[in-house]
A = this chain, B = another copy of it.
Amino acid sequence: MKFEIMRDKLLEGLSDVMKAISQKVTIPILTGIKIEVNEKGLQMTGSDSDITICTSIPVEQDGEQIIQVMESGMIVLQAKFFSEIVRKLPTNEVVIEVTEGMHTHIRSGKSEFHLIGSDPYEYPVLPEVSDEHRMSLPSDLIKSVIRETVFAVSQHETRPILTGVHWELKDGELVCVATDSHRLASRKTRPEQVPEQPFSIVIPGKSLQELNKILPDTLEPVEIIFADQQVLFKTRNVLFYSRLLEGNYPDTSRLIPSEYKTSVTVNGKQLLQAIDRASLLAREDRNNIVRFSAEGGNTLEVSSNSPEVGKVEELIEAQEVTGEELKISFSAKYMMDALKAIDGQNIEVHFTGTMRPFILKATDNDSILQLILPVRTY
C-alpha cells in the first residue's frame, strides 16, 4: 500500500472515525483504525462494537486531486498514535506506505514516522444491514430530534431498554421517545419519504450523541436504513452504524395526561433562568428540588430552601394562568433539561394536580412534548 494525501482532508475524515474509538474495547484490534486505499479513494473505519463509523475520501473532489494512489492495500494502525501524528505533521502533503511485515511509514516534510501496523484481515467486517426499511431525513432535523429527546434516556442499566430512544413510525409519522421513568421527552415529525411498513426500533442514547457530533447542521439528506439489530445512517461520505437495543419499549402514550387542572403560559427563557437561580442553593442536596406555586393571579413563584445554606424566592409574571391554584415540587434539573429542549419563546405547562405528571410544550408547536413527574414535599 502506498498513497499520498492532503493532510487536512485526512484529518477531517479521521476526526469522524475517532468518535467510534474507545480505549475500553475488549477486542484489541478495535483500538486501531482500518485504512483501505484503492483506485476509488481512502476508506477509514473505527468501531467500539456498538458503534461503527466508516468515512470515505474520494481520489478527487470538486475538481481537486486529494489522493494519489501508488499502490492499493489495507492496514490497521493504532488510532491514538495515528490521529496524533496526522494532527501534528509539518506539511499538507503526507505519504503513507506499508512495507513488508506491516511496517508503516508516514512521511511529511522532513518528518518520518514508523508505526507497526496490525493485520487488516483480523478487523471485524462491517455489519450487514439489509435495505428493506429505509427513509430519509434532513441532517439538521435528525440533530434536533436527538437534542430534544436523548437527554431523557436512563443512565442506569437496570432496565437496559430505557437507555435508548424509541423511534417508531406509524401512519406516516415518526415519534421519538426517551424516558428514564421520572421524565419523558417526545418529538414527532413527518418524514417526506417513509417506508411502506411501520417500524419500531430502540437506538442507544450514546450512539445518538455521537451521531449528533458527526452530522452537519445542514439540510443535507441522511438515509436511514434499519434491520433487526442494526441501524445505518448514511451521508455523502460517512456511514454510521449502531447496534439496536433488544426488547420491547414500554407503551408510554398512556402516561401522558389529556385533561388538566391548572395551565400556565409563560416565557420559557424567564422560567428557565428563575429555576436555575432557585436551584443554586439546592444543588448540594441529592435531589435538587424546587417548589413551584401558582396561587395569585398571573404571578408564579419558584423557591427552594436548604436549611443549612439559605433560601431563594423567584417571582415570574406569567402570560396566563387558568384553572385551580397549585403548589407542586419537582427536580430543577429535569425542568431545566425540558425547557432547554423546547427552547421556545412562550411555553405552556399543564398540571393535573400535585402528585400527577405534568407536561410542557411550546405554545405554537405540538411536535415536542416534555413530561415530568413531581416530587412529594408539600
List the interface of chain A (C-beta within 8 A of B). 78, 81, 84-85, 88-90, 104, 110-116, 273-274, 276-277, 280-281, 308-316
Least Cβ–Cβ distance between A317 and chain B, in angstroms: 8
Instruction: Check A274/B81 contact, CB under 8 A, given A116-B309, A309-B116.
Output: no
| B312 and A81 within 8 A (CB) | no
| A316 and B273 within 8 A (CB) | no
Nearest residue (CB) in B for A105 is B310
| B88 and A280 within 8 A (CB) | yes
Instruction: Check A85/B309 contact, CB under 8 A, given A110-B314, A111-B314, A316-B110.
Output: no
Least Cβ–Cβ distance between A288 and chain B, in angstroms: 14
| A280 and B84 within 8 A (CB) | yes
Cα A334 to Cα B280 with chains together (Å)? 43
Instruction: Check A312/B114 contact, CB under 8 A, given A81-B281, A88-B280, A280-B81.
Output: yes
Instruction: Check A113/B310 contact, CB under 8 A, given A85-B280, A88-B280.
Output: yes
Least Cβ–Cβ distance between A127 and chain B, in angstroms: 30
Least Cβ–Cβ distance between A278 and chain B, in angstroms: 8
Instruction: Check A274/B310 contact, CB under 8 A, given A88-B280, A280-B85.
Output: no
Nearest residue (CB) in B for A311 is B114
| A277 and B110 within 8 A (CB) | no
Show 6 residue pairs from A and B whose CB-CB distance is below 8 angstroms, ordered by the A residue: A81-B280, A90-B274, A90-B277, A104-B310, A110-B316, A116-B308
Contacts of A90 in B (CB 8 A): 273-274, 277
Cα A8 to Cα B309 with chains together (Å)? 24
| B312 and A274 within 8 A (CB) | no
Contacts of A273 in B (CB 8 A): 88, 90
Nearest residue (CB) in B for A104 is B310
Contacts of A88 in B (CB 8 A): 273, 276-277, 280
Instruction: Check A309/B78 contact, CB under 8 A, given A110-B316, A314-B110, A316-B110.
Output: yes
| B280 and A312 within 8 A (CB) | no
Cα A309 to Cα B113 with chains together (Å)? 10
Instruction: Check A312/B78 contact, CB under 8 A, given A85-B277, A88-B276, A90-B277.
Output: no
